[in-house]
Structure 1
Amino acid sequence: MGSLLFGYDTGIVNGSLVFIADKSQLDLNAFQQGIVSSGLTLGAAFGAIFGGPLADKIGRKKILTILGIVFSIGALGCAFSTNIAILIVFRFLLGLAVGSASANVPVYIAEIAPSELRGKMVTTAQVMIVTGQFVAFGVNAALTPLGSGNAAIWRWMLGLGTIPAIVLWLGMYLVPESPRWLVSQGKIDKALNVLRRIRAAAVVDPEMKEIKDKDAQDKAESAEQATFKELVSTKWILQILITGSVLGLIQQFAGINSIMYYGGQIISDSGFSTTTAALLNTGNGLFSIVGAVLGMFTIDWLGRKKLEFAGLTICGLALVAAGVIHTAFASASWAGITIVILVYVYIIFFQGTLGPVTWLINSEIFPQRYRGIGTGVTIFVLWLGNFFVGLLSPVLLQWNMAYTFYIFAACCVFGIIFVAARVPETKGVPLEEIEKYFRNKYDK
């Protein structure tokens, strides 16, 4: 539910903005629409960087319970907003919850899951994010026809996010605390009781020993955790930080969230009615799920760098083709549906390559001592990139949709050059060897 809410609250704006902007409602211009949309992602940047440390203090279960409450308040606040200022405040509040969920949901799943199922269970978080977007697009498609006589339908679109939020809020009372967090707090008996509840009896004692040993190791290392000053002053570590941060910006400026947030507008501008656009827009969510599932099964097979190259190349070509058709063949009967198909192709390849690979590479390139603070900074930068894409996309699309596609395609070309020059292949490479690569290249 935490990941689904991540997807729902970022995706629901796709179909609701056209009604929020209506003169009978909040009467927003293109830039104000961008602020409403991107207010959430700005909040997410801060939620991501502060959510992890807060969970370390109060516990995984408690933070996710609190997030359920925040998601509920945020959704209701958005639904009952009477002006743009109130709406932005509650979108920012939702963003704090989204960012914190993006940091804490995978951690909780990883800490609670059996080791043999951990990889697939953690990856379900990514699948549920795009499922949440699919649900949002489905809600938009179902409610958009009602908007022809009642522009206030956007309040229902935003407010329905309360339902999964309440499920998260109340559902967290039924699940156990992370045994690993309990051990880190010295609550050994409670951790043992949790393991007895969720594991076969034969594995409880061995797993408890493993958790206690790892906790002792982490505490021994925590005294040596790096500071931000050291992160930016150590030459080769700074280069890793730059590499990870730019990868996050490339992921965002390849244009995915322009399509996921404003797909309905893009399809409408391709020649379809608002109702038809809302229906076709559900394909964006469906093909996101397809791409995410494909990514689960190819990321350890084809390798990180190959997938980055493939994603950037095909996404860039799809954007250029859509831009050319929109410019040169706009009057052709086949133009609109062809652009929609190209958008679907773009989404499948993005969600199967650039989406998951960027997160994975960032988790692999930092040495252990710098991993926590380093990935925190790169995730913050990624969310800031998301914020600017969401903020500027309505203005760019209103200016010229084809040129907007070309700008994102140019970012894909830059991405190909950057990955070729700066990113090592990390598939099957020990983390120590990755560290050695950056030391040898930049520590001179």
Structure 2
Amino acid sequence: MDQSQDQKSHVGFLWAATFISAMGSLLFGYDTGIVNGSLQFMAKAQQLDLTSFQQGIVSSGLTLGAAFGAIFGGPLADKIGRKRILTILGIIFAVGALGCAFSTSIVVLIIFRFLLGLAVGSASANVPVYIAEIAPSEFRGKMVTTAQVMIVSGQFIAFGVNAALTPLGAGNAAIWRWMLGLGTIPGIILWLGMYLVPESPRWLVSQNKNSKALEVLKKIRSAASVPSEMAEIEAKDKADKEEAAEQASFKELFQTRWVLQILITGAMLGIIQQFAGINSIMYYGGKIIQDSGFNPTVAAILNTGNGLLSVVGAVLGMFTIDWLGRKKLEYSGLVICATTLVIAGIIHSTVPNASWAGITIVILVYIYIIFFQGTLGPVTWLINSEIFPQRFRGIGTGITIFILWIGNFVVGLLSPVLLDWNMSYTFYIFAACCVLGIVFVHIRVPETKGVPLEEIEKYFRSKYDKSYKGDSK
């Protein structure tokens, strides 16, 4: 086999490993999106009989678990390995889906949704890291962004399952069990598939298992590139261990005023992203469409458009984020999201019975989704990865991700109650949050496109550190 054929075979294997591990991301999307159609049947189920607030608890119980899974999943993977943690997550996803499907009470259902949330949060932290650590540098960007595409693909699949099974719900009140239980399949694929893929060579070196790391590299790289990459990994590991000895503590973060201001900025970006209302639509889009005048079956079919356009928006975001810039995308996303929400609210409150009203609201929701997923969705995560100085990056991004998930939890918990109260007012509340977000971004967020990380640090130090004289150190 010549060198080019050798390289192609390794790349093919790595793409397979990428898609297997990204089942964790797909399950992230599936388990958050499947409640969109299943809640209406849970609410009517004799064993559950959920109120609007209880529907919010069932939905948001997963996101509360995800907040803690994101915090603890990374450190646990550092101890036991990327491959092992993803294998365990596959088991948890499969068991959690089955537990939800066979739940006999709301308490049991919430427990298993919380368990799934722990897996979702841990997957959100570990899948991109694992892919980044096995991918060759020339394919790393595409391979890592596969995780984001798989999240929205999982939601699309969930909405498709809802559309396919909703017509059966009229004669089968337990159809929600099938909707939730089908999540077992990708969980099993992740669980068993991880036995077929390699451990991260970078993690192996971090555990002083250099010989095993070398064996892995020989399986996933062309023979000519193995010695140089092994040397790079060992040098980087040495530098990381020296740097880890100097990593900041929680106490130092909160006592360093300019870094605390960065934390506030990053946390607020996460809150803005969530309170722009995206997950009210992704979790309860079927209900919103039904309230716009469509029957449950048609609503489930139209709701698949939410998932499809999420995929389209995420792909567009991949190609525009380095072209248009972070701040410009954040601005445009907030403006368009606020505008579509206000117009949809006005239509619903003033001419709800007009023949064109329902489909117009659906189209406005579609516009909202494609712009959100191409702007606020990826930009928030990217800016948070750029604004923290190196010493505070791990602890700072961990806190901001936790707060983002808590915001997700609050939106998921309250949305059913707000939508039952008044759908138009709910849209206006989210639109107002978008407007406040525009003001915050204008005042607090710098443009980071093409700016070295050291220059971003200088920006915040010069703005919030009175003793700073221009030396980034």
Q: Report the TM range for the smaller structure's normalisation.
A: over 0.9
8 Å CA contact 1:25–1:152 kept in 2: the answer is no
The answer to whether structure 1 residue 260 and structure 2 residue 282 are counterparts is: yes
Unaligned 5+ segments in structure 2 are: 1-22, 467-473
| Identity %, equivalent residues | 82
Aligned to 2:449: 427
User: Quick one: distance in 2 between partners of 1:340 and 1:136?
Assistant: 19
The answer to whether structure 1 residue 353 and structure 2 residue 375 are counterparts is: yes
What does 1:41-440 correspond to in 2, within 5 Å?
Answer: 41-440=63-462
SS at match of 2:322: coil
TM-score normalised over the length of structure 1: 1.00
User: Quick one: distance in 1 between partners of 2:296 and 2:397?
Assistant: 40
8 Å CA contact 2:45–2:173 kept in 1: the answer is no
User: Quick one: distance in 2 between partners of 1:251 and 1:76?
Assistant: 31
Give CA-to-partner distance per residue, 1:225-283, whole Å, 9 cap, x none: 00001111100000000000000000000000000000000000000000100000000
Q: When the two structures are aligned, how many residues end up with a matched partner?
A: 444
Q: Which amino acid aligns with 1:100?
A: S
Give CA-to-partner distance per residue, 1:349-400, whole Å, 9 cap, x none: 0000000000000000000100000000000000000000000000000000
Q: Which amino acid aligns with 2:411?
A: V
Give CA-to-partner distance per residue, 1:273-308, whole Å, 9 cap, x none: 001000000000000000000000000000000000
8 Å CA contact 2:281–2:288 kept in 1: the answer is yes
TM-score normalised over the length of structure 2: 0.94
8 Å CA contact 1:363–1:375 kept in 2: the answer is yes
**Pairing partner for 2:30 from 1, 5, 8:** 8
RMSD: 0.5
User: Quick one: distance in 2 between partners of 1:149 and 1:26?
Assistant: 18
User: Quick one: distance in 2 between partners of 1:67 and 1:248?
Assistant: 25
User: Quick one: distance in 2 between partners of 1:383 and 1:301?
Assistant: 28
SS at match of 1:21: helix
The answer to whether structure 1 residue 29 and structure 2 residue 15 are counterparts is: no
Q: Which amino acid aligns with 1:425?
A: E
Give CA-to-partner distance per residue, 1:101-131, whole Å, 9 cap, x none: 0000000000000101111111111000000
8 Å CA contact 1:68–1:166 kept in 2: the answer is yes
8 Å CA contact 1:19–1:25 kept in 2: the answer is no
TM-superposed CA distance for 1:25, in Å, is 4.0
Q: Which amino acid aligns with 1:338?
A: T
Q: Which amino acid aligns with 1:330?
A: P
| Superposed structure 1 runs of 4+ greater than 3 Å apart | none
User: Quick one: distance in 2 between partners of 1:232 and 1:137?
Assistant: 42
Q: Which amino acid aligns with 1:324?
A: I
8 Å CA contact 1:25–1:151 kept in 2: the answer is no
8 Å CA contact 2:42–2:48 kept in 1: the answer is yes
TM-superposed CA distance for 1:86, in Å, is 0.2
TM-superposed CA distance for 1:23, in Å, is 4.7
User: Quick one: distance in 1 between partners of 2:254 and 2:316?
Assistant: 36
User: Quick one: distance in 2 between partners of 1:112 and 1:299?
Assistant: 24
SS at match of 2:214: helix
Give CA-to-partner distance per residue, 1:34-68, whole Å, 9 cap, x none: 00000000000000000000000000000000000
Q: Which amino acid aligns with 1:434?
A: I
TM-superposed CA distance for 1:24, in Å, is 2.7
User: Quick one: distance in 1 between partners of 2:372 and 2:148?
Assistant: 13
User: Quick one: distance in 2 between partners of 1:91 and 1:331?
Assistant: 37
8 Å CA contact 1:288–1:351 kept in 2: the answer is yes
Q: Which amino acid aligns with 2:225?
A: V
